[in-house]
Amino acid sequence: MMDVLTAKNMMTHVAHKMVESEPLLTKFDQTIGDGDHGIGMERGFNAVAELLESDYQPQDVSKLLLKIGSTMMATMGGASGAIFGTLFRSGAKAIKGATVLDTSSLSTFLAAGLHAVYERGGAKPGDKTMIDALVAAVKESEKHSGDLTESLPAIVKAAHQGVEATKDMIATTGKAKTLGERSLGHPDPGAVSMALILEFMCEFATEQVAA
């Protein structure tokens, strides 16, 4: 079970690793979008890292994730600022008062976040968006319970399979839709971001246990 301070340290790790992922995300969005996804994520997670390394002390896990979502929404811009901001903010509200992050609270967070992303953006599974990675993660998370160190590796694997599946999809939403069939064979950049966020959470959680 992960307390709020550990969750804050985990999200600091995620923020730094997402900033480092800028070139990869830029490359994917240059291929099927307008090329700004990496820069948006970099800007958002730089702001998140700055917040988490300040004297900010979240009262609980819900407030931590809510604040991260608000920070992303305020700094990123673009479709993904609204989409990832909505995921974090609505997911956080669904675990109001949570003092620990475990598989159950993570699963509730992801499922509520997914629901809010559906409502906000109107996309659905198969439209070649971050939803395809998120849906896979939600489904896998519901098969597990207990500690994050046991569930996250499987959740990450599922999310990456969701990313792989976007290669066979034709974008029908966002900037990639103008490409039509030319988006085939390439992953959706937002889906890559979604899987990476979970992968970096997993990296921190499992290293924490090994240490």
Which residues contribute to the site for ligand ADP (CB under 6 A)? 29, 33-34, 36-37, 40, 78-80, 83, 117, 121-123, 129-131, 173-175, 188-191
CB of 123 to ligand ADP, least distance (A): 4
Q: Which does 103 bind (CB under 5 to 8 A by kind): ligand ADP, Mg ion, none?
A: none
C-beta of 131 vs 148, nearer to ligand ADP: 131
Q: Which does 132 bind (CB under 5 to 8 A by kind): ligand ADP, Mg ion, none?
A: none
C-beta of 98 vs 123, nearer to ligand ADP: 123
Nearest-angstrom CA–CA distance, 199 and 156: 6
Distant-in-sequence, close-in-space partners of 54: CB < 8 Å, separation ≥ 6:
none
CB of 13 to Mg ion, least distance (A): 25
C-beta of 20 vs 34, nearer to Mg ion: 34
CB of 181 to ligand ADP, least distance (A): 17
C-beta of 123 vs 155, nearer to ligand ADP: 123
CB of 202 to ligand ADP, least distance (A): 20
Q: Which does 157 bind (CB under 5 to 8 A by kind): ligand ADP, Mg ion, none?
A: none
| Owner of token pair 């958002």 | 44
Residues that bind Mg ion (CB under 5 A): 29, 33-34, 36-37
CB of 128 to ligand ADP, least distance (A): 8
C-beta of 93 vs 120, nearer to ligand ADP: 120
Nearest-angstrom CA–CA distance, 51 and 67: 9
